[in-house]
Amino acid sequence: MSCGKDHDVNCNEILDRVYVFIDHELDRASSEQIQTHLDECGPCLREVDLERLVKALVARSCTERAPIELRQRVMFSIRQVQIELNRGPDLD
């Protein structure tokens, strides 16, 4: 996608990072770069606004909690991975 204007970062690069931007998972410089682009680019801003809307609708619709057994299994798996990571690499 391109709006036809010359930007520091092209529209496709911005839209590739839209989800991490929306979730506030980028460093400050990257977030500012994307926000600057969105301030200048109406088509990209509309895409980001649409993704925010979809994310909000999904969040409102997904109110069920996972069964306790599933949550316990997931937590157990996470703990196993943490233990393995703390051990460090196996050197055979």
- Domain ranges, ordered by start, for the chain: 11-87
Per-residue pLDDT of the chain (92 residues), as tens digits, is 556 677 777 888 888 999 999 999 999 999 999 999 999 999 999 999 999 999 999 888 878 888 999 999 999 999 999 888 888 766 65
In the CATH hierarchy, which fold is given to the domain comprising 11-87? Arc Repressor Mutant, subunit A (1.10.10)
**Residue 88 burial (CB count, 10 A):** 7
Contacts 24+ apart (CB under 8 A), 4-7: 5/40, 5/41, 7/37, 7/40, 7/41
**Residue in this structure with the two tokens 């299994």, named with its chain if needed:** 73
- pTM higher than 0.85: no
